[in-house]
Structure 1
Amino acid sequence: MSVDAKIEFPVIEFRSSDLERGTDGWHRLCNKVREACETFGCFEVVYDTISTEVREEMFRLMKELVEVPVERKQKNVLPPPSYGWVGPGSHVSPLYEGFGLGDVSNYDSVKNFTQLMWPEDIAHTMGTQLEKNYITIMRMMKYMPPPPGENEIRFFPHTDKPISTLICENQIPGLEIEVNNGQWIKLTNLSPSSFVFLVGDLLMAWKHRVMIREDKDRFSIAAFVFPNKGTIIKTPKELIDEQHPRVFKDFDFMEFYSFVFSDPARSRDSGQLLYEFAALTPPVSN
């Protein structure tokens, strides 16, 4: 399908004054987020509290990271859902490279990664241990431009399986979102202080893909939110009635995640896996 540049992608500014829970600004912000997620399953986040200098330094270090020796990269091995280093020529894409970092709010997790990749340096990182019901997994990704005349898709159309994804890119466009009419929105002209937020499969996500049309490497960082191990996903009772029956059974999130990466699921439509795993036939109204 073609890319439709006429569709206006939602842009939401996150100001400090609107982030205090319970205020009028917070309620307005929540409504904007809900509407964007219901319509597109994603939106552009404008958040200028993180400086341009910090972002530029982050991508500078990523360029250093992809240059470390392969034998060192291969030490970046993690169990699901984090996984680890994926090199060019893998099942993902011949021109894709990615690194995995476990719970990024955990100091030891960040320290272990930096000591593997930069053993000669000392990581100066401050972290806080917060009681929470989720973990955040980070992937650092490089998409290389295709040779002249070759296919420009760098990452196939898919939906993300975590609860949500937050993407920061290095101003090289490439991310596209499929909308409900089968066309694709190309995300261009994102501000230097922007991120892209996408909901995952559990919130009925639209597909997205990466298309590289420039002759430059594209770097991006994605933060994926996963519920803690043992979390049961269920439909709130308040949303179920005769007109709105329950469509999915209650299920353990990690069991669903394991199913997604099983051999039987690899050849199926990414956007249909939740239905295959948890759909009730027929739906239940109690």
Structure 2
Amino acid sequence: MGSEIRKIDFSGLEMKKAGTKEWVEVRGEVMEALETKGFFEAVYDSVSMETLEELFGPVLKELFALPPDIKMRNHSDKPLQGYIPRSSAKGFNYESLKVHDASSDSSLSSFSALMWPPNGNPTFCEVVGRYVGNMRELEMMVRRMVVEALGVEKEWESLEKSVVYGLRMTEYDAPVNQETMVTMPAHRDIIVMTIIRQQEGRGLEIQTKDDRWLLASPNSFNVVIGESFQAWSNGRVKATPHRVKMLNNEKRYSIQLRSQFKDGCMIQAPEELVDQDHPQLYKPYNFADYLKFLFSNGGWAENTDTLKAYCGFEGKKKMMA
């Protein structure tokens, strides 16, 4: 049941309150949730209902109503970094678009101009920009709390400079497999952190350590740790498997703010997090190279724990071709 997912109240919190009593109390809840489960639901009142209603109403519906050839302009040579079309053959009855470096006004304007040439869509930029700003603040608070709880505050500045934000917007239709109703299979995100918002509907399920699936609440901000943060923290926080299992055949919308390491950055645990009790679990690796690995030689399909296969110290490392 969705009620089993830990709820943590961030109401009234912001980055400038770091170190206050209320911050420290929430930090303790965050670390307990991430160390034991790898996810939690954030109660966060900084996003207005007006913003959410605009975003999940006219903004997303107008975006996905665009012709396929227009949406294809959201192209990237890198896997998962641009437009993802529906693929009934693979059982994926959803399509998704991504704004890279979404916290940049120029990136939002460029994406908007691609979708609505030549002048873009000011409403899209205003509403999405407002939402991204709120979500970036929440993501930074969670990431900062983890850094503080691990005792590596001196790493914060370099970590912050290494992170870029992407915004992925997804529209789900009736699942191809009407028996399972799964329209996005179980997976771990390969990035730092994802904040998933679903509005007026359910579908997101998060897997527990004892292999149960918890149905996330509608109208919630679900914070899910990715493999990059698992590696950076030397396994202190864990990447969490999740999937989308539709409850009916009605359209469903989801929006995800994703933090990830910039191209060229090496993902490596701070030396303070490696000791006799916590041996180094992963060799330093480059995010872009890991992405290539996953989409070459069946890297994703052949290994359950692809991060361990790619750069783990235990067992033989599978090399890229």
> Which range, TM-score by smaller chain?
0.7 to 0.9
Cα pair 1:140 1:220 within 8 Å, conserved: yes
Is the 8 Å Cα contact of residues 165 and 257 (structure 2) preserved in structure 1?
Answer: yes
1:138 Cα deviation (Å)? 1.0
Superposition deviation, residue 162 in structure 1 = 0.5
For the structure 1 residues 111 and 171, does the alpha-carbon distance in structure 2 shift closer, same or farther, using more than 3 Å as the test?
same
Once the two structures are superposed, the pairs formed by residues 46-195 of structure 1 within 5 Å of their partners are 46-60=43-57, 61-80=59-78, 83-89=81-87, 93-119=91-117, 122-124=120-122, 125=125, 132-146=161-175, 149-188=178-217, 190=218, 192=219, 194-195=220-221
Cα displacement (A) at 1:197:
0.7
Cα pair distance change 1:91/1:110, threshold 3 Å? farther
Aligned partners of 2:244 and 2:44: how far apart in 1? Answer: 23
Q: Using the TM superposition, give the Cα deviation of residue 147 of structure 1 relative to its aligned residue in structure 2, in angstroms.
A: 6.8
1:256 to 287, 290, 294: 290
TM-score w.r.t. length of structure 2: 0.77
Q: Cα distance, 1:121 vs. partner?
A: 5.5
How far did 1:281 drift?
3.8
Aligned-pair identity (%): 30
Q: How many residues align?
A: 273
One-letter amino acid matched to 2:31:
R
TM-score after normalising by structure 1: 0.86
CA distance in 1, matches of 2:278, 2:101: 36
Q: Which secondary structure state, in structure 1, belongs to the residue aligned with residue 299 of structure 2?
A: helix
Q: Deviations over 1:184-208 (max 9, x none)?
A: 11113x4x4x311100013231210
Q: How far did residue 80 of structure 1 move?
A: 2.8
Q: Which moved more, 1:9-18 or 1:272-281?
A: 9-18
Q: Alpha-carbon deviation of 1:272?
A: 0.5
Closer, same or farther in 2 for the Cα pair 1:256/1:10, shift >3 Å?
Answer: same
More strand, by proportion: 1
RMSD (CA atoms): 2.5
Deviations 1:197-244 (A, max 9, x none): 100013231210000012311100011111122222222222323232
Cα deviation, residue 178, structure 1: 1.0
CA contact (8 A) 1:10 1:43 kept: yes
SS at match of 1:137: strand
CA distance in 2, matches of 1:238, 1:120: 51
Which residue of structure 2 lines up, in the alignment, with residue 8 of structure 1? 4
Task: Name the structure 1 match of 2:223.
Answer: 197
User: Bigger shift: 202-211 or 246-255?
Assistant: 246-255
For 1:180 and 1:231, how far apart are their aligned partners in 2? 30
Work out whether residues 2 and 216 of structure 2, in 8 Å CA contact, stay in contact via their aligned partners in 1: no
Q: Does 1:280 align with 2:313?
A: yes
Give the deviation of 1:23 after TM superposition: 1.1
Question: Is residue 259 of structure 2 the alignment partner of residue 225 of structure 1?
Answer: yes
Could you tell me which runs of 5 or more consecutive residues in structure 1 were left unpaired when the two chains were aligned: none
Query: What amino acid is aligned across from residue 272 of structure 2 in structure 1?
Result: E
Q: Is there any run of 5+ residues in structure 2 with no aligned partner, and where?
A: 134-159, 231-237, 316-321
Q: Pick which of 246-255 and 208-217 moved more.
A: 246-255
Q: 1:93 to 1:62 in 2, by over 3 A?
A: farther
CA offsets 1:56-113 (integer angstroms, 9 cap, x no match): 1111211111111111111111243662222222676431111111111112211111
Secondary structure of 1:76's aligned partner? coil
- Distance in structure 2 (CA, Å) of the matches to 1:57 and 1:92: 32
Shift of 1:155: 0.3
Q: 1:41 aligns with which of 38, 42, 57?
A: 38
What's the secondary structure of 1:247's corresponding residue? coil
- Judging changes above 3 Å, is the alpha-carbon distance between structure 1 residues 28 and 92 closer, same or farther for their aligned structure 2 residues? farther
Moved more, 156-165 or 238-247: 238-247
Higher percent of residues as helix: 2
Indicate conservation of the 8 Å contact 1:105/1:136, yes or no.
Answer: yes
Residue 28 (1) aligns with residue 57 (2): no
